[in-house]
Amino acid sequence: MEDYLTSLLNITRNLDYSNQHPLNYQITYQSVKLIFLLLIFVILLFPAPAFAHKLIPTDGSNTSIDSALQIPDPVVSWAMYEKLDGNILYYEFEAEKGERLHASIVIPKLDGLENFTPSLALIGPSFALDSIEMTKAKNNFPYTLPDGYNAIVFDYEGKLPSTESYEPFGQITYWERQEVNLNIQVDGTYYLSVYDSDNNAGKLAVAIGYVEDFSAGDFVTILPSAWLESRYFVNDYTTPVISMLIFFGILSGIGYLIYRKIKRKKIISEQ
């Protein structure tokens, strides 16, 4: 990446500015350098999304099956930053026979959450779940389900504190919890739900899917917003403020140089 940016800067040095006033050339080159500094800052601020899930914003209102948060495609990697406090949260998705379902829970490494172990449940048509063979799943879902639906519950049964993992995009260290990996046997509407059977409160990230799917436009839309959400998720309110000050400072510098260039051209044209 550094070599690529250096090459681009060298190209700007070789551009033909012979017809420009020397001062205009200097301002133009300085503007280009500031633009590249801005690009470098954005690249460092929002690391490569190969390690990231697309974030789906939530407001905590998905507390029933009827108000479940919609997952557009369960194969694509999605993540939701959530908080439990005696409630249950639901997520709805459509799945086809033969598709692999991957879902997991991770807990941000924050004080007081070392022993936070919420449950993860898969809800679907009873005949569809009956055909899924799982060794660590349970049938002790404590909430009412619609007629014809059943749930299999996945609890974390490992050691505490659990294994840690670092997520580069959000710059967050997590404690890993349970994962679900299975093949869907029947086409249909399915739900995931998370809850804590002991009504403990805490933050968690719910992930579903395994295919990273980012477009170029995501770098200026979804990713910046997701990065800010990740900072608030771990109670980091300082880093976004500093980052925005630097960002707008660079923009202001570019704007000032452009203003000087326009003003200088006007003065020269009037002479």
59-98 pLDDT, tens digit each: 999 999 999 999 999 999 999 999 999 999 999 999 999 9
Greatest Cα pair distance, the chain, in angstroms, is: 86
- pLDDT (mean) for 128-133: 75
DSSP assignment of 37-94? HHHHHHHHHS--GGG-PEE----S---SGGGPEE-S-TTB-EEEEEEEES-EEEEEEE
Q: Are 19 and 44 in contact (CB under 8 A)?
A: no
Average pLDDT, the chain: 77
User: For residue 80, what are the contacts with CB-CB under 8 A and spacing of at least 6?
Assistant: 55, 56, 58, 69, 91, 205, 206, 207
Q: What is the pTM of this model?
A: 0.68
Distance CA 229, CA 53 (A): 13
Distance CA 127, CA 135 (A): 18
Q: Are 180 and 96 in contact (CB under 8 A)?
A: no
